[in-house]
């Protein structure tokens, strides 16, 4: 909810400012479509700049990669392009998250799946992944939008606990499978530390910064502070072993653009699924990642 409101207010403010700037030209006879095109191109340029900045920082602070995983020019262009497209559509998806990502209707089920988004986002980022999971027949599918975005991860873990209890009440299931992205993996781990694994049958974490990411220094807030490498909260979380017997898998990319160093996504006690040539946000739109998630849910 908070992310959707913030994105909407930013868009409305940008539109108002752009309209004020463009109105004299339109009044003088210029085509309004010229200004519309300029606004769209300006938005795309801003997203591209953010994409390139993220990749630049991720490259500077990258983990050493095996030689066979180094990308050539064409593969690098695809990597950046797919991440740019994923980020380009993130704003509209978050603003319309209640339309794009709806919870399943209450009905008896033994295998509900809960999608847990990452930092500064909401459930809308799961639009592409949810469509692929639904087509594969997994679920029923649910998603949480926690917040406010800059609050503590411990607060988000409490909201996750309430969502899990609501899903179990609606379905009659004994437990849920968690599929998380980015900081959502740390929210899930904070939940497991506080409540234990009794209500979780499996956890699939995509692009989670288990050891933090230098990108977290780019933003303020309690949750971002907890994502910075070496902070006390993250150290305490990693000092505790994962719940024994709970299947946990960490799916991550050697070319993640927002988790750096990329080896931060390796999690001791979990099973690693290493990918390459995929950026951080593109992990949610990539068909191979979705295939891997379906495979893990069906184990």
Chunked in runs of 10, what are the mean pLDDT values of the chain (299 residues)? 51 50 57 61 86 95 92 94 91 76 87 94 90 92 93 96 96 96 97 96 97 94 95 95 94 97 95 96 96 93
Q: What angle (nearest 5°) sits at the alpha carbon of residue 191, between those of residues 189 and 192?
A: 65
| Number of residues that this document lists for the chain | 299
**3-class DSSP assignment, residue 130:** helix
Question: In the prediction, which pLDDT does 64 show?
Answer: 93
Nearest to 19 by CA among 3, 2, 1, 38: 38
- Describe the strand order of the beta sheet including 113-116 as a list of residue ranges: 141-144, 113-116, 176-181, 200-206, 248-253, 271-275
Look up the CATH number of the domain holding residue 92: 3.40.50.1820
Nearest to 260 by CA among 209, 217, 213: 213
Query: What is the Cα–Cα distance from 147 to 214, expressed in whole angstroms?
Result: 22
pTM of the model: 0.89
Tally of domains in the chain: 1
Question: In the prediction, which pLDDT does 6 show?
Answer: 52
Question: In the prediction, which pLDDT does 41 show?
Answer: 76
pLDDT per residue as tens digits for the range 31-84: 665 656 666 677 888 889 999 999 999 999 999 999 899 999 999 999 999 999
- Longest CA pairwise span in the chain (Å): 71
Query: What is the Cα–Cα distance from 267 to 208, expressed in whole angstroms?
Result: 9
Question: In the prediction, which pLDDT does 29 show?
Answer: 61
Q: Which domain holds residue 210?
A: 1-299
């Amino acid at each position: 909810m908070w992310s959707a409101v913030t994105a909407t207010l930013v868009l409305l403010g940008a539109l108002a400012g752009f309209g004020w700037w463009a109105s004299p030209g339109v009044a003088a006879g210029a085509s309004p479509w010229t200004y519309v095109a300029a606004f769209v191109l300006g938005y795309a340029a801003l997203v591209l700049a953010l994409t390139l900045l993220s990749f630049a920082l991720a490259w500077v602070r990258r983990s050493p990669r095996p030689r066979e995983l180094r990308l050539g020019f064409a593969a690098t262009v695809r990597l950046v392009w797919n991440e740019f497209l994923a980020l380009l559509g993130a704003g509209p998806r978050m603003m319309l998250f209640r339309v794009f990502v709806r919870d399943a209707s209450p009905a008896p089920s033994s295998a509900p799946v809960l999608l847990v988004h990452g930092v500064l986002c909401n459930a809308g980022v799961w639009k592409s992944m949810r469509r692929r999971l639904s087509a594969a027949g997994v679920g029923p599918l649910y998603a949480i939008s926690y917040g406010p975005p800059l609050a503590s991860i411990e607060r988000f873990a409490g909201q996750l606990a309430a969502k899990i209890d609501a899903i179990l009440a609606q379905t009659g299931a004994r437990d849920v499978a968690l599929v998380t992205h980015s900081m959502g993996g740390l929210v899930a781990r904070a939940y497991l530390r506080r409540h234990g694994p009794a209500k979780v049958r499996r956890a699939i974490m995509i692009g989670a910064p288990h050891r933090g990411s230098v990108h977290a220094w780019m933003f303020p807030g309690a949750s971002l502070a907890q994502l910075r490498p070496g902070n006390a909260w993250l150290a305490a979380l990693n000092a505790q072993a994962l719940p024994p017997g709970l299947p946990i898998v960490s799916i991550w990319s050697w070319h993640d653009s927002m988790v750096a160093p990329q080896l931060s996504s390796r999690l001791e006690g979990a099973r690693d699924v290493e990918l390459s040539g995929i950026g951080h946000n593109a992990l949610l739109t990539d068909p191979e990642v979705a295939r891997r998630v379906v495979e893990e849910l069906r184990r």
